[in-house]
Structure 1
């Protein structure tokens, strides 16, 4: 059976854009009605409706909110919403990279802390969150180093994957190099884990009890860039992004790596990766990189009524580019 992405390339001229004035739309959720929900550095998410109108929903309340403004500010102090997932009741789970905790936000902004510790210890730099069909919550922690820039190093591997169910939270697997997005395959047998500074994807065999029983590299051992987001299509291709050296790629079920779009200046990227390899990377190296479409590609979200539109999340963009895919995305747990 031919792969639908054989010969496919993303044409930058075919992109359309939605949203405006967004701040760090790192992760995007899609609903069947055409709505998009994008993480926003102002302390919540932006709801982009099917008609193009948008609303910033700020985490400014808790379930016991008294109306005190100082209380609202304390909840969101230092906030930096990163990964998002819909909970079973339609609320939005937020991996908050600023407050180092997993939070749950109702669609009117009322928010509570789900977890900020595991085994009595601070959870670390929470990056991404994923829910499964059993109601379990899967969480990635990039590093235990509070100043996360120090973890952008070839010598640090303190990231982990945790799982939260009715029995509580536990670490499923650790020793990852800056853990980022995770996804299950269609059969829910393998959990695919991005190792950003490892520049690779590791997959874990997950048993019926949520235990990782085996791990292995999927695709190239070095993809040539810092991977950020991943997502599956219905053929089994795993799509992904390189952040800073902005690239969209796909890894076929056979492990074949294919570049679908590049949007960056090679020389600053070369200098950045050289500095990384020598463990002397600075923010200046990173800020010199990025493209023009949506600087610092971060994630991909299949959306639209046929799940063949693909929205690109980014760290430095102010809107969301969308392109058409030759194959539909694998429906997420919340898709009805």
Structure 2
């Protein structure tokens, strides 16, 4: 069967933009009615309605669940929403890169802590959260060290994947090089895990009780860039982003790598990767990188009524670029 992505590429001229004055729209959730929910560095999410109007929904610590005034103050200063997922009741699960915990926020902003320790130990830099069709919550921890930029290293592999279900929270797979976004395939048989510092995608075959039965690299062992976000389309292509070198790519079901959109600034990117090989990356190396569209591509989200509009999340953009895909996205758990 012919792959819908055969011969398909995108340029800046194919894009349009959604939202305005956003701050760090790293992760985007789409709903069937056309609504978008974007993580925002001001502490919460921006709801972009189908008519284009938008509103910031700011987090507030829910005092009904034991939060103190001191805790609320610390929370307001430290929050940095990163990965998002809809819970079964429509509230928003937030992997908070600032507070180092998994949180649940109602659509009017009331926030409670879901998880901040596993077996009595702080969970670390929680990056992404995903809910599957069984209602289980999966999350990634990029690193256990506090300074996450120091974890962009070819020598560190302390990231892990955890699950939260009726049996509690536990680590299901460990030893990843800066764990980032995760996605299940259509059958929820394999969980695909981004290893940002590994510049690859690893997949885990998941069995009963969220046990890992197999673990293998999917696609190239080195994609040539730091991967951040991923999403499946309905054909089985795994789309993804190269953060800082700003590319949208796809890995076919056969494992072939294809670049869809390239907004790289090659000089700074080359310097970044050279420094990475020496384990000498600095914030200046990273900050010098980025394209013109929405610097530091971070995620891809399928939306629109036919799931054929693809939205690009970013770490340094203020708007959300979008384009039409030749194939629909794989519906997420909240869409079904």
Smaller-chain TM-score range? Answer: over 0.9
1:210 positional shift: 0.7
Contact 2:229 2:298 in 1 (8 A): yes
1:149 positional shift: 1.2
Moved over 2 A (4+): 65-77
Tell me how far apart the structure 2 counterparts of residues 5 and 213 of structure 1 sit (CA, whole Å). Answer: 31
Q: What is the 5 A alignment of 1:50-129? A: 50-64=50-64, 72-129=72-129
For 2:136, the equivalent position in structure 1 comes to 136
Contact 2:163 2:169 in 1 (8 A): yes
For 1:174, the equivalent position in structure 2 comes to 174
For 2:19, the equivalent position in structure 1 comes to 19
Residues 113-144 of structure 1, C-alpha deviation per residue, up to 9 Å, x if partnerless? 00000010000000000001111000000000
Tell me how far apart the structure 1 counterparts of residues 312 and 17 of structure 2 sit (CA, whole Å). Answer: 10
For 2:312, the equivalent position in structure 1 comes to 312
Tell me how far apart the structure 2 counterparts of residues 160 and 271 of structure 1 sit (CA, whole Å). Answer: 28
Any idea what SS the aligned residue of 1:205 has?
A: strand
**Normalised TM-score (structure 1):** 0.98
Residues 192-232 of structure 1, C-alpha deviation per residue, up to 9 Å, x if partnerless? 00000000000001002210111000000000000000000
Query: Aligned in 2, Cα 1:305/1:206: closer, same or farther, shift over 3 Å?
Result: same
For 1:202, the equivalent position in structure 2 comes to 202
1:77 positional shift: 2.5
Residues 64-117 of structure 1, C-alpha deviation per residue, up to 9 Å, x if partnerless? 189997664333221110000000000000000010000000000000000000
Residues 285-331 of structure 1, C-alpha deviation per residue, up to 9 Å, x if partnerless? 01110001000000000000000000000000001000000000000
Contact 2:14 2:323 in 1 (8 A): yes
Query: Aligned in 2, Cα 1:279/1:334: closer, same or farther, shift over 3 Å?
Result: same
Query: Aligned in 2, Cα 1:67/1:173: closer, same or farther, shift over 3 Å?
Result: closer
Any idea what SS the aligned residue of 1:258 has?
A: strand
Contact 1:77 1:99 in 2 (8 A): no
For 2:245, the equivalent position in structure 1 comes to 245
Contact 2:65 2:112 in 1 (8 A): no
Tell me how far apart the structure 2 counterparts of residues 39 and 57 of structure 1 sit (CA, whole Å). Answer: 10
Q: How many residues are aligned here?
A: 336
CA RMSD of aligned residues (A): 1.4
Tell me how far apart the structure 2 counterparts of residues 99 and 68 of structure 1 sit (CA, whole Å). Answer: 16
Any idea what SS the aligned residue of 1:209 has?
A: helix
Contact 2:232 2:329 in 1 (8 A): yes
**Normalised TM-score (structure 2):** 0.98
For 1:258, the equivalent position in structure 2 comes to 258
Query: Aligned in 2, Cα 1:170/1:70: closer, same or farther, shift over 3 Å?
Result: closer
Return 5+ residue gaps in structure 2 as ranges.
none
Query: Aligned in 2, Cα 1:66/1:161: closer, same or farther, shift over 3 Å?
Result: closer
Any idea what SS the aligned residue of 1:260 has?
A: strand
Tell me how far apart the structure 2 counterparts of residues 280 and 130 of structure 1 sit (CA, whole Å). Answer: 32
Tell me how far apart the structure 2 counterparts of residues 255 and 42 of structure 1 sit (CA, whole Å). Answer: 38
Any idea what SS the aligned residue of 1:5 has?
A: coil
Contact 1:63 1:111 in 2 (8 A): no
1:63 positional shift: 5.0
Any idea what SS the aligned residue of 1:77 has?
A: helix
